[in-house]
């Protein structure tokens, strides 16, 4: 884009507080921006920041021509109203896809069930879809997994992953079942899935008896579990990261499965970059 005289995409990231996981995620996002030539602007605030101060900064970023994407790192401290803050981000700059306008666009279809968007090319939608669900679909597409006509089971119903990935799968003509903490005989439902996407946030929840032979599994969960003392190296971490799915136990039963870490996580960051680029292109066209 720079070679063609077009503006450089710009991403502004707002971080509140000193949570180590949030700081790590923000660091990774900024590093990824630098690697691909996206301008990144960081705004770090103490945990005591007022809502008015954050809203003022977001208003300033909404008005800046060099900022095409705005990301508010979640979770926020409890004294801040998450909904109010996310809704203050201009929908066209909401690269997390959490503004109500973008959520509604993902859920909408024609009154008679016809779909006006080309859901086979998610990079050219006229609105923003949350990054992790986009990454899940990208992994399926690049792994040559046929989605249309398949039974997809989504474990989890969050606004960040469960609900939007279910809608994307529906738009791609899958039959979708959502299971969650209130679902009875949950493993029976999951075992019917040709495609299983787990975003429950519970370590090793999914065991071999939960899956049908040849299932395709996308593990969104990232959980830490303590290591046995004999496995802790001197000066090393006393825990390891695992997914919702017991990878070692189920991998021989799956036709395809994503690892944790190193599976959905990198794709989420890649989709954030793509959302920022798409927002920049839409701003040029408008």
Q: Which of 57, 93, 94, 96 is catalytic?
A: 96
Cis amide prior to 261 (ω within 30 degrees) = yes
- Dihedral, 125, 6, 285, 130 alpha carbons, nearest 10: 30
Contact call for residues 22 and 15 (beta carbons, < 8 A): yes
Residue that has been written with the tokens 């890649």 in this structure: 270
Residue that has been written with the tokens 């899958």 in this structure: 174
Contact call for residues 223 and 244 (beta carbons, < 8 A): yes
Instruction: Respond yes or no: is residue 96 known to be catalytic.
Output: yes
- Rounded to an integer, what distance in angstroms lies between the CA atom of residue 61 and that of residue 92? 12
Instruction: Respond yes or no: is residue 251 known to be catalytic.
Output: no
SS3 content of the chain, % helix, strand, coil (to 5): 40, 20, 40
**Pairing assessment for the beta strands 239-242 and 223-226 based on DSSP bridges:** antiparallel
Instruction: Respond yes or no: is residue 73 known to be catalytic.
Output: yes
- Rounded to an integer, what distance in angstroms lies between the CA atom of residue 120 and that of residue 141? 9
Q: How many CB atoms lie within 10 A of CB 56?
A: 12
Active site residues: 29, 73, 96
């Amino acid at each position: 884009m720079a070679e063609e005289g077009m503006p450089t995409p710009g991403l502004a990231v707002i971080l509140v507080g000193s949570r180590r996981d949030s700081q790590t995620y923000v660091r990774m996002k900024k590093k990824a921006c630098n690697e691909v030539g996206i301008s990144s602007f960081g705004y770090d605030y103490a945990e005591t920041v007022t809502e008015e101060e954050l809203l003022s900064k977001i208003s300033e970023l909404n008005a800046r021509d060099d900022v095409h994407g705005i990301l508010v790192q979640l979770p926020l401290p409890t004294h801040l109203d998450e909904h109010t803050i996310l809704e203050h981000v201009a929908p066209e700059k909401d690269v997390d896809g959490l503004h109500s306008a973008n959520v509604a666009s993902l859920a909408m279809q024609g009154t008679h069930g016809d779909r006006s968007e080309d859901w086979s090319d998610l990079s050219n939608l006229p609105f923003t879809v949350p990054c992790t669900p986009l990454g899940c679909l990208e992994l399926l597409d690049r792994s040559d997994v046929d989605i249309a006509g398949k039974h997809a089971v989504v474990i989890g119903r969050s606004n960040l992953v469960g609900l939007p990935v279910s809608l994307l799968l529906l738009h791609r003509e899958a039959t979708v079942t959502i299971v969650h903490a209130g679902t009875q005989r949950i493993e029976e439902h999951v075992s019917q899935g040709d495609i299983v996407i787990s975003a429950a946030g519970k370590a090793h929840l999914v065991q071999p008896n939960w899956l049908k032979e040849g299932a395709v599994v996308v593990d969104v969960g990232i959980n830490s579990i303590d290591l046995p003392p004999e496995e802790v190296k001197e000066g090393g971490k006393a825990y390891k990261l695992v997914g919702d799915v017991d990878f070692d136990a189920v991998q021989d039963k799956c036709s395809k499965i994503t690892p944790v870490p190193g599976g959905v996580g990198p794709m989420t960051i890649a989709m954030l970059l793509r959302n920022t680029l798409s927002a920049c292109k839409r701003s040029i066209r408008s």
